[in-house]
Amino acid sequence: MTFFSVLFALFAEQYVPVGKDHWVMRMCRNWVKKVPNFCDTGEADAAKIAIAMLLIPPVFLVFAVHLWLIFNQPLFALFWNVTIVYFFMGFRQFSHHFTRIQELLNNRQIESARTELSAWVGPSLNTETLTESEVVRHTLERSILAVHSHVFGVFFWFLVPIGPAGVVMYRLTLMAQETWKFGNASPVLIEHINKWRYLIDWVPTRLTAIGFTIVGNFEKAVYAWRFHQQKWDNQSAAILIGTGGGALGVQLGEPLAQLGSLEAIQLAEEGVLPVQEYGMLPVPAHLASGASLVWRAVVLWMILLAMLSIAIWL
């Protein structure tokens, strides 16, 4: 049932994508925005209560329906699983930005590409002075993070025993993290939701990175995983973007600092190889390679899921 649920949800999402303004997404965003108003007092205990209040009611409701349908209406249980994965996966919620930027760069419309990237990323990135290579770099980085949070992370939490309830928990956590840092949440609540996100995303992050490593350039992906994490402050983002860029053979993130002469000599005397940049500078053609990498990773995990399902049936 799990394999077909994911497969049907993927097909449905490709043909009838769920946009950000869908009523389900609006309802989730409203719930996420209201929770801090109820119990966020700026204290650690209140932050834990707020996160519990955010997750427990919807997760319990989805899980209760899931259990009841499994024992009473198995066919409708499949429909329920497909529905939850379909609404909360959101593959197409970000892919239109990626596709639009790719088209604009291919047509040499760099100003329009900067505007589209700014509309996607938001105020956290100033795109006015970005070069073409930097636009491609930020687009690839944002896409790698988005495909993990919208697709591969959802896959993982759907495979755990709580099924669709895990999907709801994961996506609500990500929505809260993105919303509260720009809303009225206290710094303590933001800190706790970041810690909770890191906890539930620890395993999915590494599985996504393994997938990129397998379907892309293995040697460069592993090298970036080991040595390029210092480019990013967030460890999860560092693992994902590092392995994604290595798998593509593209330099992502800010360039590594150049070693001074004395430091280079000292490393040479110790027999230690300095950390190097691997891969090419990003160009528009790498956007198509990035899309191909994502789909190869999706196919890889679908094949593994199918093999697991067959093993369970046998």
* pTM, 2 dp: 0.88
Packing angle, helices 23-39 and 44-72, rounded to 10: 140
Task: Please name which of 25, 47, 24 lies closest in space to residue 36, comparing C-alpha atoms.
Answer: 47
Give the count of domains, the chain.
1
pLDDT in tens, 174-206: 999 988 888 778 889 999 999 999 999 999 999
pLDDT in tens, 89-146: 877 777 788 888 999 998 888 899 898 898 888 777 788 888 898 999 999 999 999 9
pLDDT at 66: 92
Packing angle, helices 187-200 and 44-72, rounded to 10: 40
Structural domain span for residue 28 = 1-313
Is the torsion defined by CA of 199, 200, 204, 205 positive or negative?
A: negative
17: Cβ contacts below 8 Å, ≥ 6 apart: 91, 92, 93
Alpha carbons 282 and 170: distance in angstroms, whole number? 31
